[in-house]
Structures are given as structure tokens and as C-alpha cells.
Structure 1
Amino acid sequence: MHAPRSKQALAWLTSPGWPGQVIALLAGALSTLSFTPFGLWPLGLLSVALLYLGLQQLSPRQAVWRGWAWGLGLFASGASWVYVSIHVHGHAHPLLAGLLTAGFVAGLGLVYALMAWLWARWLRPRLMGWLSLCAFSALWVAQELFRGWFLTGFPWLYHGYAHTDTWLAGWAPVGSVWLLSLFSVFTACLLTRAWSWRQQPMQLGLGAVLLTVIWLGGLGLTQVQWTQPHGEPLSVALIQADVPQSQKWDPDYIDNSLARYRDMSYAVAGVDLIVWSETAVPVLQSRAEPFVQSVADNLRAEGSQLITGIPADEYRDGRLHIYNAITVAGVEGQTYNKHKLVPFGEFVPLEDWLRGLIAFFDLPMSSFSRGSIDQPPLLAAGQRLAPYICYEVVYPHFAARLAADSDLLITISNDSWFGRSLGPLQHLQMARMRALESGRWMLRGTNNGVTALIEPSGKIAQQIPQFEQASLVGDVQPYQGLTPWLRWRTWPLAAGISGILLLSLMHRRRQT
């Protein structure tokens, strides 16, 4: 009785029509369960396998809808936290916030629609053999690379993040999260062939060998120390002030917020570094300088150096430029201006048209200028720190450039925009991956969580619970040396997937 039902489900999955679209939608949502805080990574494999099987018999036009349904399921379940920032903090009506969120996730789903169309139109071999497995995996990574670049990029929910804590994590210092995506998608696709190859021991055996090499190889690589300790450990204190977003930019509360950061810092004075969160000082740097300098001087007298987020301002080209910045307080020339800005949060696309339409397009400090791409690391406590402000830490290639010239990584953020949603926890998982890729400690200071010290292995050494006012005090060890990922970046991976896709394209053209 079960066999006919299984055949019917498979027929729905592989055929055009609404049953297949519903399965794809649910499969996309399954992928979200593979990421933190759920960590059910086998569901990520199942999710990809269902999409791979579902695209095998569809025409290019049918594949577009199937891919879009899968992408819609992924982003509706995994990225709809933007509703919180639009409705709660952007003061948009719930209906309008819902429509904007729906448009956001539907638009992101188009990336998977494009991937599915390319697969069905140009790349899919007639037989689901080895070339099919490799080409689909390569196309998946190409899609992630594209998604991290197009229209400033949205490098969220990359498939490889599901394996931050699995054996595949050992490959991260070799080829970043994208290599984990490649191997995970390949695993999912290969497992779909296990039943078909049960009468082909050579094929089945080769598949088992490859999976063993990929997964046990990753486990073995976790024992490799790609970078080396350098100098003495540093004592650090990360200040999580838990300032409500509704009060952060309110002039009536600014003095209270600054006093909270100051007093919490004085309580832990004596550590080497004290870190405040993104825009912890919600006043232009030129106006806040007396306060910041005073606190920095007092902390320096106790042997501590202060690093804080602050809006940096300068007049250039006849106009005022304001940057979302992180600065080593009281040290001239040690300020980093954020380069990767968040659309609508830090700048408004089509500003002349959208400003004033709704409150969401007029958020506080949503007119930041973009910092230069070639800024050096910060120098503090005798160490080089690679700085990332909020969203910047989710860009693998961008983060690698600064990490290669650093001894420690530091990221500051204000994730209170996203409330108690999945967003801040996913953000933390991506920060963990950057530490793992670079083989360096990461200091992650936030306003209301998750504040953490992350080891070079990507493991969390210490953290503070969300939505608590607290200081995290601990030690970090500077590291030097380059992982293969920091040395070679995307070039080997890009060359490999380009070669596979070109081979698949040529094979498809010969078949037609």
C-alpha cells in the first residue's frame, strides 16, 4: 500500500502542476530548519534533494516556477524577519509591512527561479549521472556567488552555513562556506541516486568512496591548524548595553545611553580592550568627541583601550558625509568607515522618489556614505584588528581581504532591529563561519545580542544571552598565518565550477 503512495508522491514531485510547487515550497522551508537555532542539517540535504529531483523532467518554463516556489519557501521561512524592522521600527502599517516583506522574499525567490531555468534550458544532461550531480552542485554555488553580488548582494542563508558544526566544517578554511555548499549539495544529489544504483555496484561503490572522502576528509581537516598563535593573549570586555531601539536615537535618552556604556566600561576597566557596539555613540563624531575622549582617557589610565561604533562625519566636496564607523577612541587615524551598506537601513535606493513616502524610508541615520573598499585594519593594543560593521561580516570574500592582514577579527552590530526573530541568531552563525574560514578569534560586540567571543574553530567560547544588560569579559589569542581560503580566495572554486558548468553546457549542446 505504501509503494503506490510513494510513486504518487514522486509523480507529483517530478511533474508540473500545483502539487509539485507545494512540495517545492515546503522543501525550501525545510532548508531553514538546517540553520541555527534549529541545526537540523539533514533536513537541508533533504530539501536540496527534493528540488534536484523535482527539476529533472520539467521544461525551462516549468522549472522557473518550481525554482521560485523553492526559493519562496526558503526566504519566507528564513528571512521574513525583515517584517520586524519594517513594522515595529519603521512604523509601517502591518498590512503594508506584510506586503513589503512578501515582495522582498518573492523577489529573492527569483534567484532560484533563474537557477532552475538555466539548469533546465542549458545545463541539465538527459541522464542523472555523474555530470548531472556535479553540474547541479556547481550551478548552486554559482547562484550563491551571484546572490552575494547582485544589487549589493544578499548573502544570507547560504546552504553551507548549515554545516558550521558538522564534519564538513573542516573544509571552510580551504574554500569558505561556498565549498561547504558545494559538498553539501553534491551529497544531497548523490543520495538521490543510491536507490537507482543499487543494481550497479561500481557506481554505488564510487559514490560511497566520494562521500567518505568528503565527510571524513572534512573531519580530518578539523585537526589541521592553519594559523599560529602570535604574542600574548589579550583580555577583552564586550559591553552589551541593551539600549531599546525605540530610545537609541531619541535625544531625550541619548545621555542615559552614553552614561550606561561609560559606567559599564569603568566597571571592567583594566582589560586590554573594551568594545562598544555599532553606533553605541548615537551622536556625530565631531560633537561626541569630548565625551568619547574623556572616557577613553580614563580607561587608558587603567590600562584599557576603547573601541566603539560611532557615526563619523566629514565635509568633503562641499557637502557633509556621514559614515557608519568603528574607531579606536582617542587615537587619530584609527577609524574604519563601513563599506557594505544595508539598503533602506543605511541608504535609500532611488532616494529622490522614495524619501517621505512612508516612515520606513526615513529611518534614523539612513543616509550614510559608503566607506572606501581598501581601508587597512585597525591598530589597537598592539594588534591588527579586521573590522566588520554589522552586515559586512556576512560577505565571505569581502571579509577575507581584511582578515588576511589581521591578527584578530572584530565585528560590532545592532541586531535590535530584528527583535526576537531568527535574524540575530543567523547573523551569529555567519560570524562564526568567518572565524573558521580565517583561523582567527572573533570579538562580536552587539547592543542586545548575541555578544560573543568566537574561537578560530568557529566554536563559541563565551556569550551573553540576548536582551540582557551585561559585560562579557574574557581572553582572546591573536593569530597569524593564512588559511588556503585567505591565500587564494574564490579563484580555485570559481575556476572549478566554471569548468564543470562549461563541460555540462557542451555536453548538453551535443545531446541536442
Structure 2
Amino acid sequence: MAFAPYDYGYAAIPALMFIYRIWLLPTKYHPILLSYLFGVGLFAAGIWWVYISIHDFGGADGLSAIGLTSLLVGFWALFPALAGLVVVRLMRHSRPGWRVFAAAFVWISVEYLRGNYLLNGFPWLQIAYSQLNSPLAGYAPLVGVYGIGFLLAVSAFILTEVLLTKLSSRYIWLILAIWAGGQLLKNVAWTQAAGEPIKITLVQGNISQDQKWQSNQRLTTLQLYRHLTEQHWDSKVIIWPETAIPAFLSQVQTAYLDPLAAEARRHDTDLVVSMPSGGEGNQYFNSVLALSDKPTLYHKNHLLPFGEYLPLQPLSGWVLDWLEIPLGDFTAGADRQPLLTAGGYAFVTTICYEDAFGELVSRQIGDAGYIVNVTNDAWFGDSAQAFQHMQMAQMRALETGRYLVRVTNTGVTGFIGPDGKVRSQAATFTTTTLTDTIVPMSGITPYSRFGDTTVFAGLLALLGLAYAINMLNNSDRTS
């Protein structure tokens, strides 16, 4: 309930208190089993929409779709269990003053492992995303999602220890200091305007996923996007969603894109479109093309497992072939690619899933005036997924101190300010456009400059300090 679309952010506190209390149970195996069941509840309630993708659009029968969704939920539920295992085995019998910090560090370390390494990373439902509207959001430009997650977990774990009377109530002052500090940090401007406002139009085509790639619908789709675009030649930049063009770049370059680009130039408008590209040497890319003075391509770098490529080969390929589920086989673009430019400013491009990775967005933000995310969340129907995805995009804007424009096929399309707040938003599942202005920004936040590695180094130093204080208190008591 702490995550979008419900947005009861403070619900994360009792949830974390609950699992921490589980870890303190005196039995040997129950805390680990209950931590796993906690994970099952979290992910079953949070990512059930995977079923829609597998069944409604992947073509699997209902029973197979339920089985695959349950398998995915069961796999990700292992991570709360892993956190429980580490805490129970190594820290449960430690002194409370040290334990709360150590357990919080374990929790966010497991989130980092889940979010960046296993199956190319799955950072969905990390606890920090629930805090966009809380005082802890003020820490995002400093320490990113893992720093916020640590502070939230520490707060919840201290409250649990105080309620169990194992920790002095004076620790409540530490919680108050953490949350008051976050509120004060919200007033800090980490970046500044770099130029005049830019008028941008986002085009939401609302093409049904089961119709999108049918060859007899291609011309209709292309005509729709052209028609919607021609109504907004007064905008400086017009942006289409992920794979808005249901054809390879080579198939539409001459007859469709070249005339459209020429018309855009006559109106002094830059057009940003998306389609698959490649085909040479069996390499296919999910790409964004900026039709500005110097047309430039960006190829998606961080691919979606089981959607754009198949991990765990040959097992995954065999299973999905048996279920007759068609999936893409894209090639990842380079880690470092030239930034695209539109409206006179370079921008960081993220395609769909990429905006879930803070360091991926931050590594080139110093050279960019704003961020563009193009997405197609139609795969997941009318579910919470699109709103959860929007929540993650908001965090990227807040971490970097940049405006973020997010254009999707069916929603949620919107403009996000450097404070992480949604400035304007289009209705979902409607064919529409959304026009607003952004301000290109310059400067770089501490998080964007130093990244997650420095955040974890700082947390390790804090953990070492807490351990030293704990040992000193033990020494004083024994002497």
C-alpha cells in the first residue's frame, strides 16, 4: 500500500517493523520462512500484473501464465528471506543499538543485489520509492534510493526496538533528526536553470498491444502519429513513445521519416521518435531517433529479461518455446553513447525499464539539460504497473535535479519537475497529446556525482562507527 497507485507511503514503516520483529523471534527457522512469506505477499500484491503480459499478450494459457507468474513471485521472495537469514544468523543476538543499523544495511544491500545483478536487475518495489511524498525524499539528491531505504529501515527498526523496550526511548530523537533533516533538505536547490523554458508536446498513441505489430495496422498507426504531431508544430520539441513506429528504421526512413523530418525543420521543431533498428549481422536494437539538426540514434542499453532477451539459456528459451510465447531478441547498446539533442539541449535518454536504474541515468547527467523517458507499458494492461513505473521515474528526476518528460503508449504520460513532483499528466488509455514547458537545468547533485558505490562506502563507515560505539559501551559495562 506504500507504493503507487495507493501512495500511502507511511505504510512502509509498520511493514518494516513487522518483518524486523519476525527476525527477532527466538526460533531457528521460523524467521526465515516467515520472511519468505513476507516476500511472497509483497511481490504477489506488487507484480501480479506480469500475468497480464504473459497471458493476454504473450499468448500463454491461463494455467501456464499463473504458473510462470507464481514462479517469478516465488523467486523474488527469496530476497527478503535472504535478508532474514543474514540477520538471524549473524546479528539477532547483538546489542539493539548496533543491530538496527546492521539489519538496515543488510536490507538495502539485498535490495541492491536484487536491483542490479540478478537477471540483469529487478529494482521494482524497493522501499525508497514509497517515500516520494515524505520528508525522506529530501535525501534523494544526496544518497539516492539506497540511502533513503537505509534511513527508512533504521527508523522502523529503532521504533520496533523501543516498543520492545530493548532500546532507550532517547533513540526517538535520532528518528526525529533523520526526518527533520530530510524536510530541511527539500529546500536546497542542487541545480539551476541553464536557459529559457522549452515547449514540449508528448504524443500518446494508445495503440492496443495486440494490434500494435500487425502489418495491416501499420499504416493506420503511422498516420495517427503524423496527424497528432502536425497539430503541434508550435512546440519546440515533439516526442513519441517507445516503438511508436511498428517497423524497422530502414523500412520507414525514406518514405515516412525523411518527409516528416523536413516538415519539422520548416517549423523549427525537433522530433524525437522510437522504433526498432538494425538487422545487420542479426543485431536488433530498441532505439530512439532525434530528428534535429544532426539526427542521432540511441540504442537501449539495459534490456528487459524475458522481454527483450532471454537469460538462463537454453532453459528459458526451451520453456518459452514450449509455451509458444513470442519474445524479442534484442542487442544491448553501448554503455556510453552520444547524448541526443532536442530543443537546443542534450538530454539523457531512457527507454522503458532503463529509468529504474539510478546510476544509469546519472552517469551522463552532467552534460544534459533534461531527461526523456519513452515507454510502452501497454504490456501490463490497466494495472498498478504503469503508476509504479511513473513513481520510479519521479525518483530519477529528484535524484538528478532535472525535469523529466515521460511519454508512453497508453499511460502514464507526464511532465515531472526537478523536485520529483508530477507537473502535468495525461489521462490513461486515451489517444491524446500533452503539452507543457520545462526548463533545461545545469549542475550536478552529490548522488549523480558519486553514485551508489560512494553511498554504500559511507553506510559501511557509519556501520563501523555504530559497531565501535557498541563495543565501547560493552567495555564500559564489563569494567
Structure 1-normalised TM-score? Answer: 0.87
Does the CA contact (< 8 Å) of 2:17 and 2:156 recur in 1?
A: yes
Distance in 2, matches of 1:197 and 1:492, equals 34
Please say if 1:269 is aligned against 2:233. yes
1:170 match: 138
1:101-112 pair list within 5 angstroms: 101-112=69-80
User: Counterpart of 2:371 in 1: which secondary structure?
Assistant: strand
1:312 match: 277
Which of residues 195, 211, 227 is equivalent to 2:163?
Answer: 195
Specify the code of the residue in structure 2 equivalent to 1:215: W
Distance in 1, matches of 2:400 and 2:306, equals 30
> CA offsets, 1:76-114, max 9 Å, x none?
000111000000001111111001000000000011111
Distance in 2, matches of 1:265 and 1:235, equals 14
- Residue 403 of structure 1: CA displacement? 2.3
Distance in 1, matches of 2:21 and 2:250, equals 59
2:382 match: 420
Count of residue correspondences? 467
> CA offsets, 1:147-187, max 9 Å, x none?
11222010000101111011111111111111111111111
Distance in 2, matches of 1:238 and 1:310, equals 16
Provide structure 2 residue ranges, at least 5 long, that are not aligned to the other structure.
Answer: none
1:299 match: 264
Distance in 2, matches of 1:417 and 1:289, equals 27
2:63 match: 95
1:320-399 pair list within 5 angstroms: 320-329=282-291, 334-349=296-311, 350=313, 353-354=318-319, 356-360=321-325, 362-363=326-327, 366-399=328-361
> CA offsets, 1:249-280, max 9 Å, x none?
00010110110000000011121100000000
- Residue 497 of structure 1: CA displacement? 3.2
1:21-420 pair list within 5 angstroms: 33-58=1-26, 61-127=29-95, 129-149=96-116, 150-197=118-165, 203-205=168-170, 207-290=171-254, 291-315=256-280, 319-329=281-291, 334-349=296-311, 350=313, 353-354=318-319, 356-360=321-325, 362-363=326-327, 366-420=328-382
Does the CA contact (< 8 Å) of 1:135 and 1:501 recur in 2?
A: yes
Distance in 1, matches of 2:127 and 2:207, equals 33
Change (3 A) 1:320 1:332: farther
Change (3 A) 1:259 1:58: farther
Query: What percent identity do the matched residue pairs reach?
Result: 31
Does the CA contact (< 8 Å) of 1:415 and 1:449 recur in 2?
A: yes
Q: Greater shift after overlay, 493-502 or 430-439?
A: 493-502
Does the CA contact (< 8 Å) of 1:238 and 1:445 recur in 2?
A: yes
Distance in 1, matches of 2:331 and 2:294, equals 20
Please say if 1:480 is aligned against 2:445. no
> CA offsets, 1:55-92, max 9 Å, x none?
11345543321221111110000011100000000111
Provide structure 1 residue ranges, at least 5 long, that are not aligned to the other structure.
Answer: 1-32
Does the CA contact (< 8 Å) of 2:23 and 2:32 recur in 1?
A: no
Does the CA contact (< 8 Å) of 1:275 and 1:445 recur in 2?
A: yes
Distance in 1, matches of 2:74 and 2:163, equals 35
- Residue 193 of structure 1: CA displacement? 2.6
- Residue 124 of structure 1: CA displacement? 3.0
Specify the code of the residue in structure 2 equivalent to 1:258: L
Does the CA contact (< 8 Å) of 1:125 and 1:131 recur in 2?
A: no
Distance in 2, matches of 1:43 and 1:505, equals 29
